[in-house]
Amino acid sequence: MKLNKKSMFGAAAIASVALIAGAVGAASAATQSNGSDGPIYFANGDTGAFITDGASNAWAGNFTASSSASDVALPPIACPSTATGAYGFLAPAGSERTKASWSAYKVDAFVSGTKNVNLPDLSPTSMINGTPGQAAVKASGGNYSLGIACTTNNGVTIVGAYYRSIAVTASTGAFTFAATSDVSSTPAPSAVTTGNIALSATTVAAVDGPLSLSVPAGAAATFGAPSLVNNRSTTTGTLPNITVNDGRISTRQGWTLTATVADFVNSADSANTISKANLGIAPAIVVGSTTAAGVTAGTATVAGSATYGALFAEAAPNSAVGTTVLNGSLTFVAPQDKAAGTYTSTLTLTLVSK
């Protein structure tokens, strides 16, 4: 016996009224992954048995639908309170909410005094309206949606849609229902609460270490063999590494390192001298061995016009705590009128705090 609006499994009309009163509102159920506003469950329109997901169904079979997956009484579909009409529809997947795009449809109706659609006939062959029509869908096959649309404005505006995705086999029309699947929802974040904890920590002042200059014992510059450049005896050399240690971690005053040079004296004749102005010094920072920041080397002095004391290096205040390693390159140019020989001098480095 085919189920209809007046009878279900031979039950009296009063039983149907009881079902309507206990309708499950699909409109309040979880949105489905296929876009349906809620789950809808299909049953055999002759026996009331629920259709198994994935099972093959004949195109000419009789089908109805319910808002419950297990209640054999097949509770009706509840449309939104604003709805004024209902339709059964067969539409290409994605076109469920555009009536003009439906392939086929039929007019349905609410139970009197409610917005419930009870035991709708959703058999594909019952969809007698629409273009290209249910027969064309059977012939071509494809992915469609089958279900109930709740409408306003004389069926123009869709305010609710409850449907299942079906896969139709071309020619035979045999089709299967895809399983229902709720859309995953992100839980609302919990309310943010705050609390204050008073903090009180006592500190002690850091203790400054020393500012010191370290020059290797017996340190001496190394000069190479002299050569004539523009007919002047010219020789170059290098200074050994010297170290400035600044442990003043609290005051961070910075420092200045100054170079002074004595005139050069001929080792064989102390009366024969060459001016310190003929020594050029180019100070340098040994980067790989230096931990202090904010240190700059002094500007190179030019052999023949150098003046001393000259800035060798300096550290800016508030930046140079740590170790600074320095050296430099030397150029000594003798006047043309000076006798050949060995000339000696002393370079003195003086470190002072800024």
SS3 for 243-291, per residue?
A: EEEECCCCCCCCEEEEEEECCEEECCCCCCEECHHHEEEEEEECHHHCC
Q: Which 3 state secondary structure label does DSSP give 330?
A: strand
Residue 298, both tokens: 């002094």
Residue 94, both tokens: 């994605």
Domain that holds residue 23: 13-177
What is the Cα–Cα distance from 274 to 264, expressed in whole angstroms?
5
Q: For residue 26, what pLDDT is reported?
A: 41
**Residue 336's domain is classified under what CATH number?**
2.60.40
For residues 299, 303, 305, 306, the Cα torsion angle rounded to the nearest 10 degrees is 50
* Residues in the chain with pLDDT values less than 50: 1, 6-28
DSSP conformation class of 241: E
Residues 347, 267 within the same domain: yes
- 122 close to 146: Cβ distance less than 8 angstroms: yes
Residue 167 lies in a domain: yes
Residue 217 lies in a domain: yes
Report DSSP letters for 14-71, one per residue.
HHHHHHHHT-B-GGGSPPBTTS-SS--EEEETTT-PBPPTT--B-TT--EEEES-SS-
Residues 115, 228 within the same domain: no
Residues 62, 126 within the same domain: yes
Residue 5 lies in a domain: no
Q: How many domains does the chain have?
A: 2
Q: Which 3 state secondary structure label does DSSP give 329?
A: strand
Count CA atoms closer than 13 A to 17's CA, side-chain side. 5
The order of strands in the sheet holding 255-261 is: 295-297, 310-315, 255-261, 347-353
Residues 260, 344 within the same domain: yes
Q: What is the pLDDT of residues 129-160, one digit of tens each?
A: 999 999 999 999 999 999 999 999 999 999 99
Residue 57, both tokens: 């169904």
Considering the entire predicted model, what is its pTM?
Answer: 0.48
Q: Which 3 state secondary structure label does DSSP give 163?
A: strand
Cis peptide, bond prior to residue 309, ω within 30 of zero: yes
Looking at the chain, the whole-number percentage of residues with pLDDT higher than 90 is 81
What is the Cα–Cα distance from 323 to 292, expressed in whole angstroms?
5
Residue 111 lies in a domain: yes
* H or E, element range at 77: strand 77-78
What is the Cα–Cα distance from 282 to 312, expressed in whole angstroms?
8
Residues 110, 66 within the same domain: yes
What is the Cα–Cα distance from 281 to 284, expressed in whole angstroms?
10
Q: For residue 267, what pLDDT is reported?
A: 95
Which residues, other chains included, contact 353 with Cβ-Cβ below 8 Å and sequence gap of 6+? 211, 248, 253, 254, 255, 256
Q: How many residues does the chain have?
A: 354
Residues 163, 258 within the same domain: no
Residues 220, 155 within the same domain: no
DSSP conformation class of 178: P
Ramachandran angles phi, psi of 234, nearest 5°: -130, 135
Residues 153, 232 within the same domain: no
Residue 320 lies in a domain: yes
Residues 339, 279 within the same domain: yes
Count CA atoms closer than 13 A to 152's CA, side-chain side. 7
Q: For residue 205, what pLDDT is reported?
A: 86
Residue 186 lies in a domain: no
Residue 37, both tokens: 């506003």
Q: For residue 1, what pLDDT is reported?
A: 40
